[in-house]
Amino acid sequence: MDQDAVRLLVKVTQEGDFSQLLKLFQSCGPSACQLVHLGRSGDSLLHHAARHGRLDFLHFLIGDVGMELEVCNLDYKRPLHEAASMGHTACVSYLLRRGARVDCLKKADWTPLMMACTRRNLDLIQELIQHSADPLLKNKDGWNAFHIACREGDPGVVRYLLTAAPDVWRTESKTRRTPLHTAAMHGCEEVVQILLERCGYTPDAKDSCGVTPFMDAARNGHVSVARLLLAKHQASPTAADTLGAQTVHHVAVTGQEEALHFLVRELNVDVNQRATGMQLTALHYAAKEGHVSTIKTLLDLGANIHAQDKKRRTALHMASIGQHADAVRTLLQLGLDDSQDASGITARQHAKKPHIMHLFD
């Protein structure tokens, strides 16, 4: 079959023109039945039909033409992956009734259930579970379907998975992140509430970098979730990660100023608290990232503009190292003088770009 005919078959499948598909199969003859891997992705017509929710096409291609149900594309996706990832419940049901493997794996070890959990579609997830999909299976990153559901934040899906598999929450990714980390990071407050009520997570459980769910919530600006973790989970606002950085430092890195006010004004966290490793303050972190507004907020909250880290570097050094002209200009205007660090290097010397170096003139 020539490429023009193949492209036309794909086009009518995507667009859902079933009568045209029948005509093309009649005109192409037996060669149309041999079509498997089409285009760069290696998708078959079944992949296209499943992705676009064309149930009548699936009936025809599988039931009448006899195309292989478990055909894989170049990412090892089956038609069931495609239907699940796009939320087409009727297509998923049909493929399962025809005998599709419910826990087939695509590249990176994703199952159809994992892909279904990227959609807020409880009926679809129930259909897969009722056909014995295993929510405890993990992908290459160590995530199971529950991690993904907690990221998406649908309370109904989370409750259902906890009912269907009560131990599904007892899981960590390869970087030791729990579903509670995931829900907190993405600001899924109602899901966090469910997890705190129904699951036995240890307060301030740390991932492989030492990050807690409270840190995740605060550094992503989800102050209401951080409050919930404080009230219901005894989270510590001063827990430190593996580098000795506390939540106030993480929040300075991401420039979340509401969270800074929350930590310093409401929780009385020391704005000049140093990370135990390099003795960096929140001001150092904000300057290195070039967050001018955050620098000003920290100073308003009582940050010491002259604070030095373990190498005697000030925030001005950090802004120069990060090559952030606006931050350098701001710190100079606020009265911070250039100085040598412990190695005898000035902030100006850290600047690599001429327009930043000129700011020191």
Sign of CA pseudo-dihedral 232, 233, 239, 240: negative
Look at residue 10 in the predicted model and tell me its pLDDT: 86
62: alpha, beta or left, given left = phi > 0 and alpha = psi -120 to 50?
A: alpha
Full-model pTM: 0.92
- Whether 318 and 287 have beta carbons less than 8 Å apart is answered as yes
Which burial class, exposed, middle or buried, applies to 29 when counting CB atoms under 10 A from its CB (0-12, 13-18, 19+)?
A: exposed
Sign of CA pseudo-dihedral 259, 265, 271, 277: negative
Q: How many CA atoms lie within 13 A of 44 on its CB side?
A: 25
Helix (H, G, I), strand (E, B) or coil at 70: coil
CATH homologous superfamily for the domain 243-361: Ankyrin repeat-containing domain (1.25.40.20)
Asked if 1-133 and 243-361 have one fold, the answer is yes
Residues comprising the chain, all counted: 361
* Dihedral over alpha carbons 148, 150, 152, 153 (to 10 degrees): 170
Report how far residue 173's alpha carbon sits from residue 180's, in angstroms, rounded to the nearest whole number: 11
Report how far residue 317's alpha carbon sits from residue 310's, in angstroms, rounded to the nearest whole number: 13
CATH homologous superfamily for the domain 1-133: Ankyrin repeat-containing domain (1.25.40.20)
Task: Name the residue ranges covered by the structural domains of the chain.
Answer: 1-133, 243-361
Neighbours of 241 (CB within 10 A): 21
Look at residue 40 in the predicted model and tell me its pLDDT: 74
Tens-digit pLDDT string for the chain (361 aa): 567 777 888 898 999 989 888 888 877 765 555 566 666 778 989 999 999 999 999 999 999 888 899 999 999 999 999 999 999 999 999 999 999 999 999 999 999 999 999 998 999 999 999 999 999 999 999 999 999 999 999 999 999 999 999 999 999 999 999 999 999 999 999 999 999 999 999 999 999 999 999 999 999 999 999 999 999 999 999 999 999 999 999 999 999 999 999 999 999 999 999 999 899 999 999 999 999 999 999 999 999 999 999 999 999 999 999 999 999 999 999 999 999 999 999 999 999 899 999 999 8
- Whether 314 and 307 have beta carbons less than 8 Å apart is answered as yes
Tokens of 294: 């955050």
Look at residue 31 in the predicted model and tell me its pLDDT: 58
Instruction: For the chain, report the end-to-end CA distance as a whole number of angstroms.
Output: 72
Report how far residue 137's alpha carbon sits from residue 148's, in angstroms, rounded to the nearest whole number: 12
